[in-house]
Amino acid sequence: MECTVGLSSAPFSPVASMDYERYDRVRAVTWNGEALDLLDQRVLPMQQARMICHDVGQVAQAIFDLVVRGAPAIGIAAAWGLVLASRQIQAKNGPEARVALADATQTLNAARPTAVNLAWALRRMNAVLANAGDDWRAILANEAAAIEREDLAANRHMGRLGAALIEPGSGVLTHCNTGSLATSGFGTALGVIRAGVAEGRVARVFAGETRPWLQGARLTVWELLQDGIPATLIADSAAAHLMSTGQVQWVIVGADRITANGDVANKIGTYALAIAARYHGVKFMVVAPSSTVDMHTATGAEIEIEQRSETELLGYGGQRTVAEGVRAWNPVFDVTPAALIDAIVTERGVVLQPNAQRMADAWSGDDA
């Protein structure tokens, strides 16, 4: 069986028939030339408020507070955060700037631990400084713009690759928010769903609410509504039952980190979906740009899983809903073993039934 398809470093070719504007209207991260403009995802969908970040500390705090969230989006925000930091230091050339920006890089890196895109973007930003001269500030800003631009192109390409795996008329279930709100646009898993809807392959979209932060309920179904894509919200605990009814043929999710053996860290609850999908014969697809692939980490067991405040579980909207004195445990990601995954889709191609060998074949000669 051919387990790696379409892997190449060829330039992306856009889907000729896809009206991207129609299916992708929301933007979460915008550089306005002076500051970083973020759509505040803590208050969506009831309020569409923007937070303008003028310095690197504000960007790091916004990442930690989930004003901006989703692995690719936090990488992009961090890149622009470093551009903001570059305005607060003096340096004659790139190598000097790199040293002067070490604290800012560290502050951004520490904002969230699981999504590898954050460290990847900061490494890439620092790398361009190595040979930069006195125009290092412009070089840094160009690199941030390139990271953002390439993410959008990758998402559009992945949309087409992933959609091609789906039989026309299928139902899909997604988890968390992997759309334009989580990326520079179009989305990863949600990009595949957008492309699948446009091509008539996806006939039914279900979204899990994604307790406790409700990325599915507050963000995904709102985002799809903006683009005229009907989606049905389910309680996370309804997923296995939904699968048993035969209404979904694919679970499609994003990733925060994909390790060298094909294990996938993603929003808490993803692992349970993969187990339920395998039991019911539902296929499981992970969609992520190559910036999410971490070939330096051997397996998912080595990934640091972010723990967030127990207050996210003990109440809602600032109102306590659980008896005083009760404690909670709140890991916000989990690891899905490669053995439960049918396809990993990146902009470089599709790895079917991922394992260490197939990942190594796909990423050979690359330090992604």
Binding site for ligand MRU (CB under 6 A): 69-72, 115, 176, 178, 182-183, 188, 215, 254-256, 266-267, 332
CA 290 – CA 87 distance, rounded (Å): 30
Distances (CA, A) of 135 to 85, 89, 132, 202, 206: 15, 14, 7, 48, 49
Longest dimension (CA), the chain: 64
| Shortest spacing between CB 253 and ligand MRU, in angstroms | 6
Give me the residues paired with residue 205 across strands: 172
CB of 169 to ligand MRU, least distance (A): 26
Would you say 28 or 338 has its CB closer to ligand MRU?
Answer: 28
Minimum distance of ligand MRU from residue 140's CB (angstroms): 24
Tell me the CA end-to-end span of the chain in Å, nearest whole number.
26
**Is the CB of residue 340 less than 8 Å from the CB of residue 285?**
no
Least Å from the CB of residue 205 to ligand MRU: 16
Give bridge partners of residue 320 from the DSSP assignment: 315
Q: Which is nearer to ligand MRU, 86 or 259 (CB)?
A: 259
Work out whether strand 343-346 and strand 333-336 pair parallel, antiparallel, or are unpaired. Answer: unpaired
Residue 156 beta carbon to ligand MRU: minimum distance, rounded to whole angstroms = 14
Q: Which residues does the annotation mark as catalytic?
A: 256
| Residue 101 or 293 having the CB closest to ligand MRU | 293
Angle made by CA atoms 210, 213, 216, in degrees to the nearest 5: 40
Of 98 and 218, nearer to ligand MRU (C-beta) is: 218
- Cβ proximity to ligand MRU: between 281 and 317 the closer is 317
Distance of alpha carbon 250 from alpha carbon 97, whole angstroms: 47
Helix (H) or strand (E) holding 30: strand 29-31
Please count the residues of the chain.
368
For residue 197, give both structure tokens.
């809807």
